[in-house]
Structures are given as C-alpha cells and as structure tokens.
Amino acid sequence: MNERNTHYVKIGNAVWAKSPDVLYCKGLGSCVAVCLYDASKKKGCILHILLPYGDDESKPYFYANLGIAKALRECQKFGMSIDKVWAKIIGGACVFSRVDESNGIGIRNVNEVKKWLKLYKIPIIAEDVGGKSGRNLIFNLETGEIEVFTLQKGIIKI
Amino acid sequence: MNNLNDRLNEIKKIFNIGIYKSAEALSKLINKPVMINIPEIYLKSLEETFDLLGQVDEKAVSIYMRVKEGLKIGVLLLMNEDSAKKVVKYGAKVDFPEGSDYFIGVLEEICNILISYFLNTLANSLKVKILPDVPDFAIDMKGAIFDFVLAEHKNESLKVLLVITDLISDDNFKISFLIIPEDDTIEKLLIKR
C-alpha cells in the first residue's frame, strides 16, 4: 500500500498530487482555493489565490487572471486530462463585520475565478464561498471529496 | 547610512514611539502595568509574512483600522479570546458575556483608543495628516483575518513591510500589534525620510 502524504498549499502557491495523497489549506479568508480534479486519474491540485487580477507573471498563483490558465497547463503536464477536470471552489469570505460582503475582495476573487473557469470550460461541481467565516480545507485525492472547516459551522463535505 | 537596514531601523523607531504611547494608554485604561516587547520590523515576501503569524488556523479576536489618507497604513490588533475577555473585564470593570454587543462595543472602543494614540503620535512625528477609517472587528482564524487585510491593501509588489510587537500585562494578557504600511507608503518611509 502506498504511503499517504499530505501537502500544505500556501498562499500564492499551487500544488499537484495524486491519490492517496491529501492536499490542504489553512486559514483561508478572502483568498480562494481552486481545487481541480481528474477523477479518472485520481490526480488533482489546489491553487491558493489572493487577488482577482495582477500582472506579476513570476508569481501567477497569487492572481485568478494568471493563475487558472497557468494551473491548467500544469495539470496537463502532470498527466490530468483537461476535458475530464472539474473544479470545486472554496473561500472568498469577508471576515470583518463592517465590510460590505457583496463588494468585498473575497467575492471579487470568487467572481474572477468563476469567469476564468468558465472561459476554459471547467465545470464547477461544488462550492463553499462567501460568508463571514474563514475556512480550512482538506482535499482527498482518492475520492475528490473536500472537507471544509469553519469555526462557526464545524465540518461540511462538498 | 542609506542602506536598507538603516532605513528600516529608522521606520521602526518612528513606530516605536507610537506603540509606546499606545501601551501607556492601555495601562491607564486597565489600571495595570503594560510592557512592550521590542518591536520587530520585517520586509518580506507575502508568503513569508504568514510564517510570522504562527498557527494560521488559531482563533483570534481582532480589530483592524485602515488609514486611507495621509499615510496609508493598516493597524491590526490581534489577541486570543482569553486576552480579549481580560481587556473588556479590566477596561469596563464589568463582566459582559463574551461576544455580546456590549462586549464587542467595549473591546472595539478600547482598541480604537490604542490605535488612535498610535496614529496621533505618528502624525505628529511625521507631520502628516492622518484620516483613519472606522475600525472593524473580526473573530476568526488568524490567517483568514490576515489574508483579508493583505488583500485589501492590494499589495502589488507582493512585499510586505510589517512591524510586530506585543503589549503584555500580568495575568497572561497579550495584545499583538501589527502595523502594515501600503506599497506607496513603504516607498515614502524608505526613501523620503
């Protein structure tokens, strides 16, 4: 039996792995974790995005506009079939009480991520986005299931 | 004298005076001695900045105030729940239930005073007009609070100048004081002074 490794995905980074490994992010606030998965190969990745747009191509995964295109190219190199890849997106919260949630940086991140995924025809099969709570997540590459933890609601599975 | 470390030390000194005034104000409010850890200044990449926070998924209570005019900086006060309870208890002399409107109101007010002392001192020593926003409040994971603050700053260079210190009183009570200048302010502070 293969040993199961866990990989932490830091802000502005993207990490690829395959079953039985696990990918995880901690303390996501307005950031968005884009989880991409090819169920036929049991391979996936998380990119941990901070901002909707940017132009620093040396650090593409900080930005939705650069990160998604780059991540999809890397998915192909990692042996994932792009026509089979789906996405689950998590994050984009607005943790401070007075900030207008409908116009905060979190929701703008989410909208930009959705725009780019749609452009590349990657279906979003589940999401847990927005709201007022920060999130931790664990992405199980054996099943494609993601456990999302918030201080308010505990664990949900998507 | 123009190298980066000298400049950073100079900036640290400016912030130091403000933090000291803040600690004095806290001491008067809670009627207890307050000590300050020697502030540390960091100019780091955004990823490395998160490593300074320790456990990013640890629960924290925070007050954040952003200055949009004058000198653009953000000031974030972070504490654990126990310290937040003590700030309210000693400051208001009343035990309000945690998380109640009164509890949050008192905590916000005290933190507001601390940040205002800091900003006033900064405005006086730098001779700039500082117009802060209304302070905002969050109880959540440290990392979630911090990534929101950094994203709001739209830190295009992905470099963060950060000054961190702790205000400490007896009874294990600690407030971490984080000062985060925005990009153009970093330039101003590094070059013009």
User: A108 near A52, Cβ under 8 Å?
Assistant: yes
Q: Which of B64, B134, B144 sits opposite A134 (nearest CB)?
A: B144
Query: What's residue B156's pLDDT?
Result: 63
Quick check: B158 contacting A, CB < 8 Å? Answer: yes
Cβ contact A109–B146 (<8 Å): no
Quick check: A50 contacting B, CB < 8 Å? Answer: yes
Return residues 117-146 of A near B (CB < 8 Å): 133-136
Q: What is the spatial distance between Cα B49 and Cα B62, in angstroms, rounded to a whole number?
A: 17
Model confidence at A109: pLDDT above 60: yes
Q: What is the spatial distance between Cα B178 and Cα B164, in angstroms, rounded to a whole number?
A: 5
Q: What is the spatial distance between Cα B140 and Cα B144, in angstroms, rounded to a whole number?
A: 7
Tell me the pLDDT band of B190, cut-offs 50, 70 and 90.
Answer: low
Cα angle for residues B25, B65, B22 (degrees, 5° grid): 15
Q: What is the spatial distance between Cα B51 and Cα B53, in angstroms, rounded to a whole number?
A: 5
Model confidence at A121: pLDDT above 90: yes
Query: What's residue A2's pLDDT?
Result: 65
Cβ contact A29–B152 (<8 Å): no
Q: What share of chain A is helix, strand, coil (3-state, %, to 5)?
A: 25, 35, 40
Cα B135 to chain centroid, rounded: 11
Quick check: A10 contacting B, CB < 8 Å? Answer: yes
| Tally of structural domains, chain B | 1
User: A57 near A66, Cβ under 8 Å?
Assistant: yes
**Is A31 part of the annotated catalytic residue set?**
yes
**Prediction ipTM score:** 0.86
Cβ atoms within 10 Å, residue A21: 21
Q: Domain range for residue B52?
A: 4-192
Query: CATH number, domain at B133?
Result: 3.40.1550.10
| Chain A residues with beta carbon closer than 8 angstroms to that of B142 | 27
For helices A105-119 and A64-77, what crossing angle results, to 10°? 40
User: A47 near A137, Cβ under 8 Å?
Assistant: no
Q: Where do the domains of chain A lie, and which CATH numbers do they carry?
A: 6-157 (3.30.1330.200)
Tell me the pLDDT band of B186, cut-offs 50, 70 and 90.
Answer: low
Q: Which of B46, B141, B144 sits opposite A12 (nearest CB)?
A: B46
| Chain A residues with beta carbon closer than 8 angstroms to that of B59 | 151
User: A78 near A12, Cβ under 8 Å?
Assistant: no
Q: Considering A31, A35, A75, A94, which one is annotated as catalytic?
A: A31
Phi, psi dihedrals of residue A132, rounded to the nearest 5° = -110, 5
| Chain B residues with beta carbon closer than 8 angstroms to that of A49 | none
Kindly provide the residue ranges of all beta strands, DSSP E only, lying in B8-158, ordered along the sequence. Answer: 35-36, 40-45, 59-69, 73-79, 131-132, 136-141
Q: Give the mutation candidate from A9, A13, A25, A26 for the B interface (greatest B CB count, under 10 A).
A: A26
Model confidence at A132: pLDDT above 70: yes
